[in-house]
Structure 1
Amino acid sequence: MKCILERKQLALSPPSPRKLSHTRTVVYQGYDREDGLWDIEAELTDVKTYDFKVPNERLFPANEPIHRLKIRVTLDSRLVIQDIATSMDSIPHPECSGAPHGMHKLIGCTMGPGWRKVINQRVGGEEGCTHLREMLSNMATAAYQTVPASQWHRREMSGIPQPEITSPPYHLGQCHSWAYDSPTTQRAYPMFYKPKLADDALT
């Protein structure tokens, strides 16, 4: 019975009567390039179900993207940015086209711990765009999903032995499932598993 109740809690309750007003779609894709590098691409679109107009700007008809923004980041195997490109296909203000002017400042930076701080330092506030920063922030997760797995796959397909894992992956200790005392960690990385002490279990 307990398991059934816990499973029900994972589902959304039926919504109140409503109608769709706005849809934001963000898609992240990771590419394994033939030259040994990786491309991480992000695309963000904002669409409303009704005609929308910012004061003194043009009218956006219903279902026409108000935002359609794209970023491509090229990374090496250490997640260091080698190149970055931005496309502003649909924007609400003409001035938005200048928002990516500082994106090149991210070249040479690493998508790893402290990435959000790096974004704010290089393209924060008026030096960039809120939406581009949002995309950049989550591109690190897509990069982490892409590059290590692609490296493993490359070695597997080439018959190269996988290297010994000597340090905990970044994701350990960052969520419930990957807690150091979690059964997930015990199964996947038994060398880093740390069972809870009896005193901890009582608190």
Structure 2
Amino acid sequence: MSNVSRTPVHHRKIDIHSFLREDGLWDLEATLVDVKAYDFTKANNTVMKAGDAVHDMTICITVTEDGEVVAAKASYAAAPYAEVCFSIQEAYQQLVGLHLLKGFRQKVKERFAKTQGCTHMSELTILLPTVFVQSLSKKRNQRNEDLGKRPFQLEGCHALRLDSDAVKEFYPKWYSSHSNDLMNELQ
């Protein structure tokens, strides 16, 4: 944080929820809301008041436990160009058939590049794979433990290197003080 005096200008809030449905599928619902901290007049002379949503959009996808998208719905409560922006909603049904854990982000970038999508909706959509992984982590770790396999998140980031203090404390069974030496030898 800065020690210098600051004036608020723009606020973006992203809110993502996952839901396990009674039919065994998962809903991932992400909302993005942008507001300005000042009043401004749009080109059509409409005045946007400070705090009014410039963008308010939601993407909801339904996925199998494996990660395949079986349904998708994009919706807007607010967008700067109203109906023109809203008209892209149906395009996001092209997410159906994609797999969250198999090149999803790249495929979203390709399918919704430039004028084929909404920049903000696509940015929101590419956040969904990590939320899905977090949603399934308990179940996935239990399955790995039952099979004698190490937790999937180990070696996934610097804090969870096999030779880290975090692994030593929270996953002592998988701790190895020589992890980096072994990794270097394997490369």
Match of 1:49 in 2: 37
Deviation per residue, 1:145-195 (Å, 9 max, x gap): 11333x369x8xxxx9964154762x4434211234323345438458562
Aligned ranges 1:99-114 → 2 under 5 Å: 99-114=88-103
Residues in 2 aligned to 1:58 and 1:76: alpha-carbon distance in whole angstroms:
43
Residues in 2 aligned to 1:189 and 1:85: alpha-carbon distance in whole angstroms:
43
Residues in 2 aligned to 1:139 and 1:58: alpha-carbon distance in whole angstroms:
34
Residues in 1 aligned to 2:108 and 2:144: alpha-carbon distance in whole angstroms:
36
Residues in 2 aligned to 1:99 and 1:189: alpha-carbon distance in whole angstroms:
50
Residue 175 (str. 1) matches residue 163 (str. 2): no
Unaligned runs of 5+ in 1: 1-11
CA contact (8 A) 1:41 1:73 kept: yes
Residue 184 (str. 1) matches residue 173 (str. 2): no
Choose the corresponding residue for 1:75, options 63, 88, 95: 63
Residue 131 (str. 1) matches residue 120 (str. 2): yes
Match of 1:116 in 2: 105
Residue 20 (str. 1) matches residue 3 (str. 2): no
Residues in 2 aligned to 1:48 and 1:133: alpha-carbon distance in whole angstroms:
21
Which secondary structure state, in structure 1, belongs to the residue aligned with residue 92 of structure 2? helix
CA contact (8 A) 1:22 1:47 kept: yes
Unaligned runs of 5+ in 2: none
CA contact (8 A) 2:38 2:51 kept: yes
Instruction: Report the TM-score, using the length of structure 1 for normalisation.
Output: 0.76
CA contact (8 A) 2:26 2:62 kept: yes
RMSD: 2.8
Match of 1:196 in 2: 180
Choose the corresponding residue for 2:131, options 136, 139, 142: 142
Choose the corresponding residue for 2:80, options 92, 97, 105: 92
CA contact (8 A) 1:57 1:92 kept: no
Which secondary structure state, in structure 1, belongs to the residue aligned with residue 87 of structure 2? helix
Give aligned-pair identity as a percent: 25
